[in-house]
Structure 1
Amino acid sequence: MNTKLDIIKHAVVLFNKKGFFNVSIKDITETMGISPGNFTYHFKRKEYLLSAIQEQILDNAIEIMPSDQYVTLFHFEEMFKKFYVIQRQYRFFFLEISYLMVEYPGIMRGYKIATTKRLEGARDLVNHFITSGRLVPESDRIDYTIIIQTLWMTSTFWSTRMAIIDQKRSVVIEDSPIQNLWGILLPYLTEKGYKEYVEITKYHTTQHNINFKNI
C-alpha cells in the first residue's frame, strides 16, 4: 500500500465533499484510521498536500496542440471532455481556485504558469483551425484572444456555475460545459467547420442511441 497516494485519494474525497478549508488533517487521519504522525511523515503541512494534488492535476493536463496527429474539431471537443473529467475528479480545486490563489500564492504559481502555457497552446490550435479552413480569419470584429479567454473561463469555472444554479429549477441541458463551449465557437465556424461540427453531433447521437439500446 502506498500511504502517500492513499492520503491524497482520501483527502480529495473529503475536500470535494466539504471544501478544502473545512477539512483538517485530523479529519483526514480519522477517516483513514492512521495517526497524525503518519500523515505528517508524508505531508508536514496541509499546503504540502495541496501541492501534491496540484501536481496530479497538472500531470493529467491535456495536450492542447498535439504534433503527432491530424487535428480536427473532434480534438476540440475531446480536449474539453477530458478536462471536464479532471475538473469533476478534483471538484474542490476548481470551486475554490480563487481562494487558493490568495491563500497559497507560492503553490498556485505552478497552476498559473501551466494555464498561461495552455492559453498559448489554445492560440496555436485556433491558428490551425483558421489555416485549415475551419474557423473564419481574425478581423476587426473577431478577436480570438477574447474568444479563447471566454472558452477558458467557461470551462474552468463550470463547477462554480453548477454550484450556484439550482439544477432542478434551471433549464441546464446536462451537467457538462461542452454544449456551451460549442455555442461560443459556432458563430466563427466556416462552412467546412460547421459540416465537421454536424458530423460530430451526428456521431454522438448515434453513440447515444447505441448505448441506450444496450441498457
Structure 2
Amino acid sequence: MKDTKQHIIHTATSLFNEKGFFNVSIKEIADEMEISPGNLTYHFKKKEQLLATIQEEILLASKDIIIPEGKYITLEHFELIFLKFYSIQDQYRFFFTNILYLNVAHPKVMRKYKETTSKRLENARKLVDYYISTDRLKPENDEISYTYLIHNLWIVNMFWKNSSSLIDLEKTNYLAKESPIESLWHMLKPYLTEKGFTEYKEIRAAKKILKRS
C-alpha cells in the first residue's frame, strides 16, 4: 500500500510538472497509472490532499538547508544553500511555477510553506550576522540593509525559473541558463569586505578548476 501511495505521488508530480497542477485531474493520474480513480481516491480523496503530501516532500527535502553549528562556515555555504533549493525547484517545477495561484486556491495547505519560508528568512539573517561577525560582510548601517538584501536574494532565487520562461534564452545572453547563482553572487559582492572578496575569488576559482577537470 505504501508503494502504491508513493507511486501516485511520483506520477502526479510528473504530470503536474508537465501540464501544471490545475490542468491535471484525478482521473488523468489514475489513467496514467492504469488504475481506477476509486483506487487512487482511496489514498487521496482530493487533489488538495495530494498537494499537501507533495508539499511535505518539498519541505522535507529542504530540511538540510541549514546553518552548520560549531564550525567555520565559508561563503561557499551561501552558494550551496541556493543550489540545493534550485534543485528542489527543478524536481517540483509545478509547485514553484504555480505557487502564487496555489496560495490563493489552497491557502490552508500553503500556510505551512509560508511558515517555513519565514523561518528560512530568519536563518538567512543569522547567516548574514555570522558573516558580518567574521569580517566577510560589511557591517549594517544607514546605507546597508541586509533585510532588503535577503528579501531580494530570496525573490531572485524563488522566481528565477518563472522569469526565465518569459525570456528567449536562445537569443540573449542576459541570463545564465543553468541557475541564478551568478546573479545572486553579483547581488552579494558589493557587500563583501576585502576578506570576503578574497574568499569569494578563491571559491569561484576552485569552481572553474572543477568544471575543467
**TM over 0.5, shorter chain:** yes
CA gap of 1:68–1:15, structure 2 versus 1, over 3 A, is: farther
Calculate the TM-score normalised by the size of structure 2.
0.96
Give the TM-score taking structure 1 as reference length: 0.95
Matched, 1:202 2:211: no
1:37 maps to 38
Pairwise CA RMSD of aligned residues? Answer: 1.1
Identify which of 128, 132, 151 aligns with 2:130: 128
1:45-96 CA distances to partner (integer Å, 9 max, x unpaired)?
Answer: 0000000000000001143322154211011111111111001000111111
Alignment of 1:1-215 (within 5 A): 2-61=3-62, 62-171=64-173, 172-210=175-213
Q: Structure 2: which 5+ runs fail to align?
A: none
Cα offset, 1:176, TM superposition: 0.3
Q: Deviations over 1:168-214 (max 9, x none)?
A: 1221232201001101100000111111111111111101100xxxx
| Aligned 8 A contact 2:169 2:177 in 1 | no
Identity level (%): 52
Could you give the per-residue CA deviations for residues 128-154 of structure 1, whole angstroms, max 9, x where no partner exists?
A: 000000000001000000000000000
What letter matches 1:91 in structure 2?
R
- Partners of 1:192 and 1:50 lie apart in 2 by 45
